[in-house]
Structure 1
């Protein structure tokens, strides 16, 4: 029997990213999917808006670094506060884009960059990327738009958030490195460091857990198959219960030492299993994203 006093979470999506990366397209897509949308809202007004909302339509807020009261530290504090609020199911979307592509987009539109109106777009882009770095690190969904058309971006946002008007539970899976800590907002964590480590095989070391050779090596561990079956069974047992309790989102993390091999392979396989069982699943590989845009992975698998 369900508890009559159970809390049904109100879904709130924060959307940000550098100018030109596609924030307006993402916000418009969410609005088309039934979200109540507020764009370019001053950061100081966000708590008042959310606290004054009655539970109902999900809400999407577009946050622009160009806003004069924008402050990365204040936004990180807001994200952390909303994360622990039992009334709210928070998701943070960060729209990322390569510097060269942002420059090309500004050149096409002949617009000045808002953070460097008297300088080249490159200077403004660099300033904005630096300003948003703490928010990027807190993002639940990092969408790389460099190679995307507006249509592609709409499809990507729709895949992750298109169930806004349906009673359902969205599941996100994330691989990570314990060296950088457990990601924010994870509900369940599984440690994959006991599995056979491809890092110690020279030919596999530069690859990641999405590569079949890496996966095959990890799968030779005699504990691998049983681990996958038990985790899958546990997730499939818990997901309906979480849905019954009014949750709209469940985040599951898989960690290993470097976040490159074992946790990635397990995340990919569990995501496949849950999707085959009919659950809407999004996946993210935190360290692979970081390696692609910032630094090479130097951990041990």
Structure 2
């Protein structure tokens, strides 16, 4: 079993602090994705909201970006399970930690739980927009 911490954060406030015993993990920069925060009616929303999700799915490269990340995570988690590692951090950053990174973290959590079912536990942490 691997404990995966999935985080979103704002690069403006710095990288998240690594808390696992072994350290390590991934930090993905979502600033390469078109920013829904620059669209007036989406600005007050977050990556948890339907209109932001719709925008990211239809107006940006987010779907392809997430598929590439999933391939990396699948390779790593499969290897970690064989090696006996017990933790991994996966962080997503963007300018404000509100739209792109939060959405990516939410989708990654869902994918991990579906792809690895009883092989991972997921702890989610949205540093700028906690639940």
Q: Verify same fold: TM over 0.5.
A: yes
Aligned residue in 2 for 1:182? 15
Structure 1 alignment gaps of length 5 or more: 1-167, 293-301
Instruction: Report if aligned partners of 1:173, 1:271 keep a CA contact under 8 Å in 2.
Output: yes
Query: 1:197: Cα distance to partner?
Result: 0.8
Aligned residue in 2 for 1:208? 46
Aligned residue in 2 for 1:252? 90
Of Structure 1 and Structure 2, the greater strand share is in 2
Q: Distance in 1 between matches of 2:8 and 2:60?
A: 22
Task: Give yes or no for the alignment of 1:281 onto 2:122.
Answer: yes
Q: Distance in 2 between matches of 1:263 and 1:222?
A: 13
Instruction: Report if aligned partners of 2:34, 2:60 keep a CA contact under 8 Å in 1.
Output: no
User: Which of 51, 62, 76 is the aligned partner of 1:238?
Assistant: 76
How many residues in Structure 1 have an aligned counterpart in Structure 2?
123
Aligned residue in 2 for 1:109? none
Instruction: Report if aligned partners of 1:195, 1:221 keep a CA contact under 8 Å in 2.
Output: no
Bigger RCO (CA 8 Å, 6+ sep): 2
Structure 2 alignment gaps of length 5 or more: 19-23
Deviations 1:251-283, CA, capped at 9 Å, x for gaps: 110000000000000111111011001132221
Counterparts of 1:88-167 in structure 2 under 5 Å? Answer: none
Deviations 1:229-253, CA, capped at 9 Å, x for gaps: 1111211111021233332111110
Max Rg structure: 1
Query: 1:218: Cα distance to partner?
Result: 1.5
What is the TM-score of this pair, normalised by structure 1? 0.39
Deviations 1:26-61, CA, capped at 9 Å, x for gaps: xxxxxxxxxxxxxxxxxxxxxxxxxxxxxxxxxxxx
2:32 is paired with a residue whose SS is: coil
Structure 1 stretches of at least 4 aligned residues deviating more than 6 Å after TM superposition: none
